[in-house]
Amino acid sequence: MLRLELEPGASAAWPEIADDAPLPDGDCILSFARLRAGGVPDRSGSGRLGVSLRIDEPVEALAGSIERLALVLLTVPAFRDGRVFTQARTLRERLDFAGEIRVAGPVLPDQAAFLERCGVSSLVLPANADEAVWRRANARMHTAYQPSVRDEPAGPGLKRRSEAASGG
12 burial class (0-12, 13-18, 19+ CB within 10 angstroms)? exposed
pLDDT reported for residue 130: 83
How high is the pLDDT of residue 88? 94
| Sequence-separated (6 or more) residues with CB below 8 Å from residue 105 | 75, 76, 77, 78, 79, 84, 124
Structure confidence at residue 152 (pLDDT): 54
Residue 51: strand pairing partners = 30, 72
What's the whole-number average pLDDT of the chain?
79
Does residue 74 have a pLDDT over 90? yes
Strand order in 100-104's β-sheet?
A: 2-5, 122-125, 100-104, 71-75, 49-54, 28-31
Does the domain at residues 2-143 carry the CATH identifier 3.90.550.10? no
Mean pLDDT along residues 49-67: 91
For position 8, what pLDDT does the model report? 65
In 3D space, the residue among 1, 4, 9 whose CA is nearest the CA of residue 132 turns out to be: 4
pTM beyond 0.95: the answer is no
Q: What is the pLDDT of residues 127-166, one digit of tens each?
A: 788 878 877 776 765 555 555 565 555 555 444 444 555 5
